[in-house]
């Protein structure tokens, strides 16, 4: 059965029989749990064409495997136009939800593995590329959500995977059989894990000789026996359980992460895409990182569009929109946001074909894009808080607005511009609170730093890819300096 719309997606999650813990308790139906439902709603938007004229062509495309129409989230990029359309799709969905819509990691994982499995087969005579294509065609036909799982818990960061006192700190193979492999370990910070049907596992770093059991990639259903999910906390997350939507700030949408634990999980051979090829593991990491660092030039820009709108709205409602310093701050927010978009488009437009036939982004520009993302959203949020004022963190609760004894007083003393209902002003300020210090800050700010690798990871790649020797030769030639 193919998932074709938001409702069938939400219904499909209810059929999963998984071992999930939320706030210390076993949770059988995550999609209807108030802590999880907003994030499921965000994923559901990826199945919704919506009202935007460009949405259909961005959300859906044609499979190069089957020739059928598929979700772009299951597509293997066939051109630089595909890479650009990916960014445009992500911006569109960020504008709709003002949060993470959670399908990008799986998409980026597929595209990284597509070229690496092809090269691995050429180098080692393995059958991984055909297996991946078969699996991918099934994913395209069913339109399931695939979570990409790369980040291991890592244990002692000063030690290599093979040197850890407990080898489970990096997911690894513990047994091989004629039918498949058995794996153990955990993947941390797994965005959208509770809203996914499948888990696509990739190695977390470049492995060396002697670390073959850690050089593993595979896919399993999310309800496979031996997998446990533990939902992570977010700031102010229990507001979602308090009843009313006002204090939540973004009541319709959200994001979530989980720790995903693999306890002797069996993976059938046809779902294994790497097993022991240490020389190929680093390629997966670097290519996935480039694709995912490109992604931030779309999704975070879409969220930024909403924040720019919230800044203007707050200024309008408070009677400050004509102040020159407010106009300057909003202009700077727009400048920073569009600069990120420029980076995402640039690394896409400069993409190139791989030996497998798919297209990958220009890696230097993708890393530039993500390094800017580690900074600019924080400045956008700072400017937004500056315009909104301190009320975003001193505002009374929704229950006070509902209490007849205090409602009239709040209506009077929290009034802004006379023509604007007080509650409308409060709604936009609660949204700004959510996005800059509450649950929304996890998906917009913290994820901007650590998603797709920390800032130092981008600096390392930029230094490696920048070709400094060539630039030195340019300076010497222009300056007439001879060796």
Active site residues: 100, 104, 191, 257, 292, 296, 299, 447
How many Å apart are CA 278 and CA 205, to the nearest integer?
A: 10
Rounded Cα distance, 310 and 304, in Å: 10
Residue from 19, 10, 83, 92 nearest 354 by CA: 83
Q: Determine how many CB atoms are found less than 10 A away from the CB of residue 12.
A: 17
Dist. CA 438–CA 444, nearest whole Å: 10
Rounded distance between C-alpha atoms, residue 370 and residue 448, angstroms: 8
For residue 263, give the 3-state DSSP assignment.
strand
Do 456 and 388 form a contact (C-beta atoms < 8 A)? no
The dihedral formed by the CA atoms of 255, 256, 257 and 258, expressed in degrees to the nearest 10: -160
Dihedral sign (CA 206, 212, 213, 216): positive
Number of neighbours of residue 418 by Cβ within 10 angstroms: 6
CB 259 within 8 A of CB 232: yes
For 270, other C-beta atoms within 10 Å of its C-beta total 15
Tokens representing 20? 């999930």
Give dist(CA 155, CA 205) in Å, integer.
Answer: 14
CA gap 139, 248 in Å, rounded = 34
Sign of CA dihedral 405, 407, 411, 414: positive
Q: How far apart are CA 290 and CA 373, in angstroms?
A: 14
- Which residues have CB under 8 Å from 397's CB, separation 6+? 247
Give the rounded distance of the alpha carbon of 245 from its chain centre. Answer: 25
* Residue at token pair 């009313």: 244
Alpha carbon distances (Å) from 261 to 188, 265, 292, 321, 467: 9, 9, 23, 50, 40
């Amino acid at each position: 059965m193919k998932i074709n719309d938001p409702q069938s997606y939400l219904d499909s999650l209810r059929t999963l029989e998984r071992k999930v813990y939320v706030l210390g308790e076993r949770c059988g139906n995550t999609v209807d749990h108030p802590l999880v439902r907003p994030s499921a709603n965000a994923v559901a938007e990826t199945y919704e064409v919506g009202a935007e004229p460009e949405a259909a062509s961005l959300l859906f495309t044609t499979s190069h495997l089957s020739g059928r129409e598929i979700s772009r989230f299951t597509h293997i990029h066939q051109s630089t136009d595909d890479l650009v359309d990916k960014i445009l799709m992500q911006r569109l969905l960020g504008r709709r939800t003002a949060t993470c819509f959670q399908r990008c990691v799986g998409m980026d994982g597929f595209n990284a593995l597509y070229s690496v499995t092809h090269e691995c087969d050429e180098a080692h005579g393995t059958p991984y590329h055909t297996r991946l294509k078969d699996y991918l065609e099934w994913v395209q036909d069913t339109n399931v959500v695939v979570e990409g799982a790369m980040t291991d818990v890592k244990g002692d960061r000063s030690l290599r995977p093979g040197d850890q006192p407990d080898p489970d700190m990096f997911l690894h193979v513990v047994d091989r059989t004629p039918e498949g492999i058995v794996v153990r370990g955990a993947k941390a910070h797994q965005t959208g894990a509770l809203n996914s049907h499948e888990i696509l596992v990739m190695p977390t770093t470049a492995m060396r000789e002697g670390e073959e059991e850690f050089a593993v990639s595979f896919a399993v259903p999310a309800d496979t026996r031996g997998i446990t999910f533990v939902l992570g906390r977010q700031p102010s997350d229990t507001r979602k359980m308090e009843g009313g939507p006002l204090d939540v700030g973004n009541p319709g949408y959200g994001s979530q992460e989980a720790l995903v634990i693999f306890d002797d999980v069996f993976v059938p051979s046809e779902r294994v895409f790497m097993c022991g090829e240490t020389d190929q593991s680093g390629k997966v990491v670097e290519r996935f990182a480039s694709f995912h660092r490109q992604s931030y030039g779309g999704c975070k820009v879409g969220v930024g569009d909403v924040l720019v709108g919230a800044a203007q709205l707050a200024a309008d409602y408070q009677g400050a929109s004509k102040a020159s310093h407010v106009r300057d701050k909003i202009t700077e927010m727009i400048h920073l946001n569009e600069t990120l978009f420029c980076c995402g488009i640039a690394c896409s437009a400069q993409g190139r074909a791989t030996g497998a036939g798919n297209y990958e982004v220009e890696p230097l520009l993708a890393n530039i894009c993500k390094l800017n993302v580690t900074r600019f959203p924080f400045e956008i949020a700072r400017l937004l808080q500056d315009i909104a004022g301190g009320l975003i963190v001193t505002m009374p609760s929704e229950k006070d607005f509902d209490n007849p004894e205090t409602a009239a007083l709040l209506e009077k003393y929290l009034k802004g511009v006379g023509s604007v209902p007080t509650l409308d002003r409060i709604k936009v300020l609660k949204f700004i609170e959510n996005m800059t210090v509450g649950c929304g800050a996890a998906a917009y700010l913290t994820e901007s730093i650590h998603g797709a690798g920390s800032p130092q990871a981008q600096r390392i790649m930029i230094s490696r890819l920048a070709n400094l020797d060539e630039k030195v030769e340019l300076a010497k030639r222009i300056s007439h300096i001879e060796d």
